[in-house]
Amino acid sequence: MKQPTDAGPPQTAHQAPPARPGRQLLAASIGNAVEWYDWLAYTFLATYIAAEIFPESAGNSLVPLLSTFAVFAVGFFMRPVGGLLMGAVADRSGRRAALTVTILLMGGSSLLLALTPTYAAAGLVGPVVLVIARLLQGLSVGGEFAAATTFLVESAPQGRRGLFSSFQYVSTTVGQLIASGVTALLVARIDDGQMHQWGWRAAFLLGAVLSLVGFWIRRGAEETRSAEQQAAPRPGLFEALRTHPRESLLICGITTGATIAYYTWTSYLPTYAQVNVGFDKGDSLLIGTISLAFFALLQPLGGMLSDRVGRKPLLLTFSVGFAVLCVPMLNAIDKSFMSLLLVQCGGMILLTCYTSIAAAVNAEVFPARVRAAGIGFPYSLTVALFGGTAPYMGTLFKDLGHPDAFPWYVAALCLVSALVYLRLPESAKKPLER
C-alpha cells in the first residue's frame, strides 16, 4: 500500500507565523551565539586544557588514547547523533522544547568542563569527565542546527524567510568572535601560570552563565508548530529517513560543497597560509578575525536578496564561483597582508550566497511533520564527513607532497553541489507548511 504523504491540510501551509517575530529571532540568535561560544571556546583553550588534563608526563598510556577519542567522538560521531535526536525532539515535542534542551545541555557541559579535575588531582577521572563533557557538547551543537533552522524559518513572516535564515550564521559567527575575544582577553590580562590554573575554567563558567540567559530568553519564545501538527501522531525517530530518502540525500548534496568551503574559509585558511606560504601567524589570525566580522555583516544582505530574486541564483553563484575561483584564490596567497585579506574576504562574499540562506533552503525541502529531524541528521553527517575533515585533508595533501591538490578538492566538491542546485526547485516565493 502506498504510504501517505506528510503534507498537512491546505490551511496548514498558510497559517500565520508567530505574532512576535522579533522576539523569535532574538531567542534563536542569542541561544545559537551562546551555543557556538561554548563549543568553540574549547578550540581556543585546547592547549591549556591538554596540559592539565592530558599531560605528557602522565605514566598511563590510556591518557593520550582518551585525548584522541575525545576529538574523534565529538567531531565525527556526536554531532550527527545530536542532529537526529534533537531533531526528533523538535518534531515530536516542539521546536521551543528542543531549543531549551540543547542550550541546557550546552550550559551543563560547559559547567562540567569548568569543574573538570586535573590529571594530577584525580588521575584518569579528569580525562574521562572531559570526554563526557565534549560528547554532550557535540550532542548539543549537532541538535542546535536542526532545531534553530526549523524555528527561525517557521518564525519568519511571508517573504522574509531568507532574512530570518541569515541570522543563523550571524549568531554563529558572533559566538565564534566572542570565544576568540574572551580567550584573547584572558591571555592578555593574566599570566600563563594563572591561565593553566584557573583562567581557562573562567571561560567555561562564563559560557554556563550565558547559557542560562539564553535558556530564559528561549522559554519565552512561541512554539512554531501548527495546532494540526501538535495534535497529529508523533513521528518516529527514523521516519524522515524512511519516508523521505530523496530529500535526505538532497540535504547531503546541498551541504557537501558548502561545508568544505565554510570550514576552509572561516577556520582553516589562516593555518593554510601559514603552512603553505609561511604567512605570519599573528597577521593570519588578525585577518581571520576581520574577515569573520565582515562575514557576519554580509549575512542579512544575502538573506534579503534571496527573498527578492530567489534561492537558486545565490546558490549557483556560491557553488560555481567557488568551483571556478577556489584554485586561483588559494594560489594567489603570498606573504603580503593584503593578499590573504582579499582572498579571505572575497571568499566570504561568495560563501554568503550559501550561508545566508542555508536555513531556509534546508527547511523548504522537508514537510513540517519531520522537518527538524529530516534536516538534522543528513546535514550533521555531511558536515562531519566533509567540513570537519577540511584541516586534515589540507594537511594530508601537504604531507603527501601535493599541497596544490587541496584547492582542487574544494572546487570539485563545490561543483558537485552546483549540479544539485541546478535541479533544485525554486521555493522562495512558495508558502511554507507550518
d(CA 378, CA 358): 14
Q: 42-51, 135-144, 183-192, 366-375: which range is least confident on average?
A: 42-51
Check pLDDT > 70 for residue 368: yes
**374 close to 87: Cβ distance less than 8 angstroms:** yes
- Dist CA 282 CA 279 (whole Å): 9
Contacts of 398 (CB under 8 A, 6+ apart): 275, 276, 406
Per-residue model confidence as pLDDT tens digits over 7-43: 433 334 445 666 677 888 888 898 889 888 988 888 7
Q: Spell out the domain ranges in the chain.
A: 19-222, 244-427
Which band of pLDDT confidence, cut at 50, 70 and 90, is reported for residue 50?
confident
How far apart are the two ends of the chain, measured CA to CA in Å? 27
- Cα dihedral sign for 8, 14, 20, 24? positive
Nearest C-alpha neighbor of 167 from the set 305, 264, 298: 298
Give domain 19-222's CATH architecture.
Answer: Up-down Bundle (1.20)
User: Residue 178 CB: number of other CB atoms within 10 A?
Assistant: 19
**pLDDT digits 0-9 by tens, 155-209:** 998 889 999 999 999 999 999 999 989 988 898 888 888 988 899 999 999 999 9
Confidence (pLDDT) at 5: 43
Of 230-234, 284-288, 348-352, the range with the highest mean pLDDT is: 348-352
pLDDT tens digits for range 394-433: 878 887 888 889 999 999 999 999 999 999 999 888 888 7
Domains 19-222 and 244-427 share a fold: yes
Mean pLDDT over the full length of the chain: 87
pLDDT at 389 over 90: no
The CATH architecture assigned to 244-427 reads Up-down Bundle (1.20)
Reduced 3-state DSSP string for 197-262: HHHHHHHHHHHHHHHHHHHHHHHCCCCCCCHHHHHCCCCCCCHHHHHCHHHHHHHHHHHHHHHHHH
Query: When comparing pLDDT for 330 and 48, which is higher?
Result: 330
For the whole model, what pTM was predicted?
Answer: 0.86
**For residues 31 and 36, what is the distance between their CA atoms, to the nearest angstrom?**
9
Q: Which three cell numbers stand for residue 200?
A: 581557562
